[in-house]
Amino acid sequence: MLGDDPRPFVVELRRDGNAAHLSGLAADGFQFGGKRGTQPESAQPLDCRIEQASDGPFSAELPQRLVPVEIRHGCHGSRPIGIVQPMSARDALIVSITGLVRRRGVAGAGLNALLEESGVARRTVYLNFPGGKAELVTEATRIAGQALSAVIRSADDGGDPIQAVRTFIDQWKVQLRATEMEAGCPIVAAILGRSEAPAAAQAAAEAVDDWRSILADRLVGSGADPDKAHSLATLAIAAIEGAVLIALASGSTDALDDVGRHLVEVIQLHLPVTQ
């Protein structure tokens, strides 16, 4: 897919409710039609995903040097809507270290593997991240945490905690399947790698706190007892992250389905009954 052939190739965008994938690829350093950032102009109305170029908001593990990609929307035949341009060396390093940490952990994400994955020179690492691997892992963790927070927030209009839980679980199922059940959560990996990158572990802790706060706010907004909302949010995040671990161990996303079903039941018990 990403060989030396200089010709553009078509990436179909399908309307299947996965606009976050398109936004995620932009967040990973790509440009769409000249737009850059987590909310590219083309992502909102298309409500679609890039089938061949990204498997989620933080794990588009693609090399730094990409051939130009002509993006065409399936509903409009051959009408081009943008070009995926090569990401910067800094972005390539962040994407590569994220993938390595997800698969190997912080300790296993060595510099040689990083250089091979990213395609950048050793000198480039320290030009972009003077603090070396620890600084790079910290920045990658921060970005991954923000991306997952955006997934929870993107569930609907910001009011339904049940939909937020379902969206978070669905995203994990996509992530796990896309990596053939080989790559886990970069936030958990950063926490476990505290001895090598303490600042990354702190960034991971802040991400988890953000997830809990987002969900707790939704619970309160839906009528849950404020004194119980935070602990319910903690239960939900802990259960989902635990289910990700079980999914990796078992090679199946069934645990996420089980957790999702029972979390919905528990949350409904703490919300007012609607007429």
Residue 150 has pLDDT above 50, yes or no: yes
Residue 179 has pLDDT above 60, yes or no: yes
Residue 215 has pLDDT above 50, yes or no: yes
Per-residue exposure over 27-63, b if at least 16 CB sit within 10 Å of its own CB, e if not = bbbbbbeeeeebebebbeebebbbeebbbbbbbbbbb
Given this model, what pLDDT does residue 86 score? 52
Residue 123 has pLDDT above 70, yes or no: yes
CA distance 85 to 82: 9
* 109 burial via Cβ count (<10 Å: 0-12, 13-18, 19+): buried
Structure confidence at residue 158 as a pLDDT band (50, 70, 90): low
Structural domains in the chain? 10-87 (no CATH), 133-269 (1.10.357.10)
Most confident range (mean pLDDT) of 76-80, 89-93, 240-244 is: 240-244
Of 66, 227, 239, give the one whose Cα is nearest residue 166.
Answer: 239
Mean pLDDT of 34-56: 34
Residue 186 has pLDDT above 60, yes or no: yes
Question: 53 near 61, Cβ under 8 Å?
Answer: no
Residue 205: other Cβ atoms inside 10 A? 16
Question: 99 near 189, Cβ under 8 Å?
Answer: no
Given this model, what pLDDT does residue 69 score? 37
Residue the block writes with tokens 């109305």: 45
CA distance 248 to 264: 23
Most confident range (mean pLDDT) of 47-56, 86-95, 158-167, 264-273 is: 264-273
Residue 58 has pLDDT above 60, yes or no: no
What's the pTM value of the predicted model, to 2 decimals?
0.70
Quick: pLDDT tens for 216-235. 999 999 999 999 999 999 99
Which SS3 state, helix, strand or coil, does residue 46 take? Answer: helix
Residue 161 has pLDDT above 70, yes or no: yes
Of 243, 253, 87, give the one whose Cα is nearest residue 180.
Answer: 253
Residue 1: other Cβ atoms inside 10 A? 11
Most confident range (mean pLDDT) of 73-87, 173-187, 199-213 is: 199-213
